Amino acid sequence: MEELRHLVKEMLKKGIVQGVLAPVRESGNGNVSPCFVTTERDADRIALDSYYPFSLAKLVSKQVGKDTKVGMVGTTCDVQALIELAKREQVVLDKVLVIGVECEEEGFPYPWCRRCEHLVPSMADVAFYQDGTVSANTEKGKELLSLMNASAREKRETPPEAKERALQRQEEDWAKLARLEPKERLDYWLSYFDRCIKCYGCRNSCPICFCKDCYLEPHKLIVKPGGNPPDKMFHLVRLMHVGDSCVNCGRCEASCPMSIPISRLYHALNKELSALFGYEPGLDLSSLPPLGMITEEDMKNLGVELD
């Protein structure tokens, strides 16, 4: 962590970026909150030892001007989210220096973290690993690391054994649902959706949800104004819109006041769609999301089996 803070301080000192969006620990109450780091004091507060329930990728896309050069420090899922936003032209990746931090396997006590198979932020410009080493994964990253006198290692990927274990935990998480009859499964989800108080927290915190003119707003008539719970289509429409690109960051579930296991559903569909379209979100900028950015022609050429 000290190395990371040192890198951020160097970035600020040399004026390479206007600031660095990072999670910081508050001195007063020990909570983690977002910060646009511009001072050494703020850099010293950068902390990635707990899950942060906000998306810095989303903050970059919403609040940072497309001409402003900034840095972003984040866990792998947040970096994946940034890549997805870049694909949708909500972020200019050239203007963001991305510093990813490897997650400890099952490091955070949340179901989505347990299911996660992407521990290593191989898609970031610079990656800091659990063992204290660092790698430059892109040209931008190499330039950035030359600011520090750290010796960079080779770029790494998430170890296959760790990925296997994650896939195993995914199966465990979804096993009970998979065994149910469709009607029982539907009951499971509908009874959870019945708790919904339409706070829009899931939509607001999801980094993939970027639409200014969102289809879940009452004027679109899918979700009628007034009255709770909202039509079940609220969750299913959002599922259809983001399902192919859900990076299992869990911000939706973390912000749900009614503890609806949203990411359990969204991540599950994402895995199905991944298998169907051969698409994994958040890893490769050149691979476009199947729902909405790729034509059936493209898919036939890629050899995707559509029934």
Structure tokens, 106: 């099952």
94/187 with CB nearer other proteins: 187
148/237 with CB nearer other proteins: 237
Burial class (CB in 10 A: 0-12, 13-18, 19+), 151: exposed
86/252 with CB nearer other proteins: 252
Structure tokens, 294: 């790729």
Question: Is the Cα torsion angle 193, 205, 93, 64 positive or negative in sign?
Answer: positive
29/149 with CB nearer other proteins: 29
Tokens 């203007």 belong to 95
CB of 106 to other proteins, least distance (A): 20
Cβ contacts of 71 within 8 Å, gap of 6 or more = 8, 11, 16, 17, 19, 20, 21, 22, 37, 96, 97, 98, 99
CB of 139 to other proteins, least distance (A): 27
**Contact by Cβ (8 Å): 87, 81:** no
CB of 38 to other proteins, least distance (A): 7
Cβ contacts of 116 within 8 Å, gap of 6 or more = 76, 77, 103, 166, 248
Footprint on this chain of other proteins (rule: CB under 8 A): 18-19, 21, 26, 29-36, 38, 52-54, 59, 62-64, 180-191, 194, 197-201, 204-205, 231-233, 236, 239-240, 243-244, 254-257, 265, 268-269, 272-273, 276-277, 290-291, 306-307
131/306 with CB nearer other proteins: 306
CB of 154 to other proteins, least distance (A): 35
CB of 4 to other proteins, least distance (A): 20
> Identity (one letter) of the amino acid at 122?
S
* Cα–Cα distance, 83 to 180 (Å, whole number): 35
CB of 276 to other proteins, least distance (A): 6
152/239 with CB nearer other proteins: 239
63/130 with CB nearer other proteins: 63
CB of 9 to other proteins, least distance (A): 18
Strands of the sheet containing 70-75, edge to edge, are 32-37, 20-25, 70-75, 96-101, 126-128, 134-136
